[in-house]
Amino acid sequence: MKILVCITHVPDTTTKISFTDNNTKLNKAGVQFITGPYDDYALSRAIELKEASGGTVTVLNVGLAETEPTIRKALAVGADDAIRVNAEPTDAFFVATQIASIAKQNTYDLILMGRESIDFNSGQVHGLVGEMLGIPSVSPVMKLDIEGTTAKLSREIEGGKEQLEVSLPLVAGCQEPIAEWKIPNMRGIMTARTKPLKVVEPTGKEELTTVTKYELPAPKGACKMIPAEEAEKLITLLRTEAKVL
C-alpha cells in the first residue's frame, strides 16, 4: 500500500506572533516551527499501517527550503521518502492543487493529512483534494483501519460518532485519538539524513486570495473579583460589560 502524508510547517503554539509588511505577512524572525499537530497524528497512523501491513509512506509538504528540517523530522519518525513543492502555501486551493498534482503522478492508495492546519485553521484542503482527484474525502477521522481495499473509519459528528466503510483510494483528515504521536529515536534521526527528499516546482501560479491585513486579538482585560455575597453586582457586570447575558 502506498500512503501519502501531507504535513504543514507551522509556528509552535507557544510562539509570540507579530507581523511585518504593513501587517500583511508573518514575522518569522525568532519563530520556532513545528509539524502541524493534526498532521503528526496522520503521520503516526500511516507509520502504524505500514508496520502492520507493509507498503511505503511518502511525506509531502508545500513550502520553501526553510521547511526541510520539519520534513526531515517526519522522515526520522519513519516515512520512507519525501517531496517538497517549492512554493509558499498561499491558500487552501493552491495547496490542494499541488497535492492533487503529485497524487495524480504517483497513484497513492491512501492520502492522509491533519483535519486542519493550526495557523489558518481552514479545514478545506482534504475536501478540495478529494474533489480534484474524484475520490472520497472524510474528516475529521478519529479511527482508521484498512481491510483489503476497504477503509473502516470513525469520525466525529455533531452529537456523536459516525462509523463508515469507504473503498480505497481515500483522502482522510485526521485528529486524535487516531494514533499516538511518535518521537524519532537516534537511529531514525541518523537515517533521515540519507532518505530521498525530492524538490519539485509548483503547478500553476494563480493566487485566488490576497491577505489585506492581519490583526492580533484584543488583549485580555483585567480580572474583577466579586464577593460571593454580591451576586447581583456580578449579574449586572455580565450584562453590561461582558454582555454574555
90 Rama class: left (phi>0) / alpha (psi -120 to 50) / beta: alpha
Whether residue 88 lies inside any domain: the answer is yes
pLDDT of residue 138: 95
Q: How far apart are CA 41 and CA 114, in angstroms?
A: 7
CA angle 149, 117, 3 (to 5 degrees): 25
- Cβ-contact 58, 3 below 8 angstroms: yes
pLDDT in tens, 51-90: 999 999 999 999 999 999 999 999 999 999 999 999 999 8
DSSP string, 50-111: HHHH--EEEEEEEE-GGGHHHHHHHHHHT-SEEEEEES---SHHHHHHHHHHHHHHH--SEE
DSSP conformation class of 49: H
pLDDT of residue 158: 87
Residues of the chain with pLDDT under 70: 205-206
Range of the domain at 133: 2-212
Whether residue 233 lies inside any domain: the answer is no
26: helix, coil or strand? strand
Q: How far apart are CA 187 and CA 176, in angstroms?
A: 27
Whether residue 231 lies inside any domain: the answer is no
Whether residue 237 lies inside any domain: the answer is no
pLDDT of residue 174: 95
Whether residue 127 lies inside any domain: the answer is yes
pLDDT in tens, 114-141: 999 888 888 899 999 999 999 999 999 9
Of 26, 10, 117, 157, nearest to 73 by C-alpha is: 10
pLDDT of residue 36: 92
- Cβ-contact 147, 168 below 8 angstroms: no
Q: How far apart are CA 60 and CA 137, in angstroms?
A: 18
- Cβ-contact 175, 40 below 8 angstroms: no
- Residue type (1 letter), 196: P
Q: How far apart are CA 58 and CA 81, in angstroms?
A: 5
Whether residue 230 lies inside any domain: the answer is no
Whether residue 221 lies inside any domain: the answer is no
Q: How far apart are CA 212 and CA 23, in angstroms?
A: 8
Q: Cα 75 vs. chain centroid, distance in angstroms?
A: 16
Whether residue 114 lies inside any domain: the answer is yes
pTM for the structure as a whole: 0.85
CATH number for the domain including 95? 3.40.50.620
pLDDT of residue 44: 96
How many CB atoms are located within 10 Å of the residue 217 CB? 6
| Domain count within the chain | 1
